[in-house]
Amino acid sequence: MNQPSQYRDMPTRVATPSIFTWLILVIFLALFIQGLSGAGFTPDRLLRGAGNLGSFFAQAMPPDFSRIGPIAKAMYETFQMALVGVTFGVILSLPMALLCARNTSPAAPVRVVCRGTVATLRTIPDLVWALIFVVAVGLGPLAGILAIIMDTIGFCARFFSERVEEIRPGPSEALASTGAGRMQVITGAVLPEAFPSFVATSLFAVEKAVRSAVVLGLVGAGGIGVELNTAMTMFRYDQALTIIMIILVVVIGVEQLSSAIRRRVL
């Protein structure tokens, strides 16, 4: 018996959740409730926190621009750290991505090792890398640059390799049929087709690195984070607000420039 058209056009019902789905939901709710309890999440604490936040802004206003010169220099150092770190990271990510991709890797064991390496680099937070390199090379921007390089390889190599695996096989096969070798196929067919995606991912890495470089300074890896940490430690909230405002302007500017470049490339 045919159903009326109005019933045929209705969306299908949501399937009854399975036992596995209910189990995941119960585990999630248990962890969520335990997390709230462990964090001491209470209305009274939130009210006191709102009052303390108001006191912070009251002491931070108006912003103190008396040290705008050193602060601007530190922000410039932060941007340089991000730019240098991402540049080296992207350059190193490209061959790593080709070794990780299924259609360009020379052998399965090489692909497994390279993917494991990239996953390891991606798993370790950039702040931990900064702490490691501060111990290795000492305080200053070099530790921050090395941390950003490691973080960028973990970020870019993954997305580069996924894009390489998604390219159309036609151009590569056509080039290979003319007698081109593996490297000629990669440089003549794979890289040109994936290039716009590489640029977009690299620009996202720059945005990510600028934000990361701010935090890396808190552990002695150079840049504006050192100034922010000093201002907060000395309770100079008016200078801290100035630093936060400069960070906000730079980060938004980098994001807007990155978006403009992506619109032209893609």
The CATH architecture annotation of domain 68-265 reads Orthogonal Bundle (1.10)
What are the extents of the domains in the chain? Answer: 68-265
Q: Which two tokens stand for residue 205?
A: 């890495």
Nearest to 227 by CA among 85, 20, 67: 67
- If phi over 0 gives left and psi between -120 and 50 gives alpha, with beta otherwise, what is residue 124? beta
Provide the whole-model pTM: 0.78
In 101-223, which ranges are continuous DSSP H helix? 108-123, 126-137, 141-166, 169-177, 182-185, 191-216
**pLDDT single digits (tens) 5-30:** 555 555 556 567 778 888 999 999 98
Distance CA 17, CA 40 (A): 33
Average pLDDT, the chain: 81
**pLDDT single digits (tens) 221-249:** 777 888 888 888 888 888 888 888 888 88
pLDDT at 3: 54
Q: Which two tokens stand for residue 149?
A: 């390089």
pLDDT at 59: 80
